[in-house]
Amino acid sequence: MLFRVARSRDGGNITHFDLYKVEVTRGMTVLDALFQIQDKMDPSLAFRYSCRGAVCGSCALLVNKEPRLACRTQVSALPAASLKLKQFTALEYRPRGWRPDKEVLIEPLPNLPVMKDLVVDMSRFYSALEELMLWTEPTEGEGPREQSPADRQRIDRYVNCIMCAICYGSCPVNAERPDYVGPAALAKAWRFYEDSRLTERGRYLTAASAANGTPLCNLVMNCVRACPKGVAPGGAIRRLKEQGTSP
Binding stretches for ligand FES (CB under 6 A): 49-52, 54-59, 69, 71
Find the shortest distance in angstroms from Cβ 161 to ligand SF4.
3
Dump the DSSP string for 44-77.
T-----S-SSSSS-TTEEEETTEEEEGGG-BGGG
69 binds, among ligand SF4, ligand FES, none (CB under 5 to 8 A by kind): ligand FES
Rounded Cα distance, 92 and 17, in Å: 16
Find the shortest distance in angstroms from Cβ 117 to ligand SF4.
21
DSSP summary character for residue 186: H
Bridge-based pairing of strands 2-7 and 103-107 is parallel
Find the shortest distance in angstroms from Cβ 85 to ligand SF4.
12
Is the CB of residue 37 less than 8 Å from the CB of residue 5? yes
Estimate to the nearest angstrom the gap between the alpha carbon of 151 and the chain centroid: 27
Residues that bind ligand SF4 (CB under 6 A): 57, 161-167, 183-184, 187, 227, 229, 231, 233
Find the shortest distance in angstroms from Cβ 2 to ligand FES.
23
